[in-house]
Amino acid sequence: MIKTDILIIGAGPTGLFTVFEAGLLKLKCHLIDALPQPGGQCAEIYPKKPIYDIPGFPEVLAGDLVDNLMKQITPFEPGFTLGERADTIEKLDDGSFIVTTNKGTKHHAPVVAIAGGLGSFEPRKPLIENLAGYEDKGVEYIIRDPELYRDKCVVIAGGGDSALDWSIFLSEVASEVTLVHRRNEFRGALDSVEKVQELKKLGKINLLTPAEITELEGNGKLEAVIAEKEGERIRLETDHFIPLFGLAPKLGPIAGWGLEIEKNAIKVDNTLDYQTNVPGIYAIGDVNTYPGKLKLILCGFHEATLMCQSAYQRIFPDKKYVMKYTTVSGIDGFDGTRKEAPKAVVKAIE
């Protein structure tokens, strides 16, 4: 059983910043996310795309924002359960909660903060008849351990950043990488497109466009895929097929937790603390809704800040927290580190 003060469901920017605000209140946090790494959409879908509306940053890449947030919360030593989806919730007699993931990992906390962005992300799957039969038998939708592909033949399908970036990375790991896309043009970062072009010329990546994978073959495990290119059927022997068509957000099992839902979002009280209709469960960031809601990262940061103040009062009802500016109080990390502004020296001038 993993025990913490605030259990955060969703490790995107809003969930990560919650760790910082909670840390200032001496509250420990643990985060659950279905993705294999922190950062949510920013890390998984568009790490190289610029964001222009983060205060203090005229321009910041989504991936860099995640890196900065991870650095910012390091002193508060958050825990992570990654690659697992929050599945069920049980409210105990004392008002605390036990949240269990789809893999059976149990978490216990007096406060649950749902910061799941647009929901848990499910991979968009190609319409191939026998696809499900090869899942985890050569077909993967998310690359969790690149070493799985060491010295293997890999076919990647897709035309965005993920397909390009993983093709580049695996060209140094796999024995053979083939990138298949239904168009000749790719929608990704220019440097990634140019790198794939360069690796194609060097013979490190096979490029098959415009083409689509339409069939899978194998006996007990994947052995080959069939690609259709301009009416021609091409058989590619492979150990792995990785369709990277992006992720589709779904509220998932949270929709069955007894929370008030409106248009696939969780209704909250925005006049006070972004608490749901279930006391002790909050929803912050893009996953919530209220009159005037804007789905912006900076709004999620604001909601996280107010939510943590309410969470503190719930956990310590007999204590009164006196807010101090960090420029005055400094920051004391759970790891023993301290940050503070230089103190003025009082000295007489002779």
Residue partners of 56: CB distance under 8 A and separation at least 6: none
83-237-213 Cα angle (round to 5): 65
Q: What is the 3-state secondary structure (H, E, C) of 173-242?
A: CCCEEEEECCCCCCCCCHHHHHHHHHHHHCCCCEEECCCEEEEEECCCCCCEEEEEECCEEEEEECCEEE
Residue with tokens 């007999």: 318
Buried-exposed string 322-332: b where 16+ CB fall within 10 A, e elsewhere: eeeeeeeeeeb
CB 140 within 8 A of CB 83: no
Distance CA 115, CA 109 (A): 15
SS3 285: helix
* Beta carbons within 10 angstroms of residue 19's beta carbon: 29
CB 253 within 8 A of CB 85: yes
Binding residue positions for FAD: 14, 33, 41, 46, 86, 121, 286, 327
Rg (CA), the chain: 23
CB 243 within 8 A of CB 143: no
Residue partners of 273: CB distance under 8 A and separation at least 6: 282, 306, 307, 309, 310
The secondary structure element, H or E, covering residue 307 is helix 297-315
| Sheet containing 2-3: order of strands | 2-3, 106-109, 97-101, 86-91
SS3 3: strand
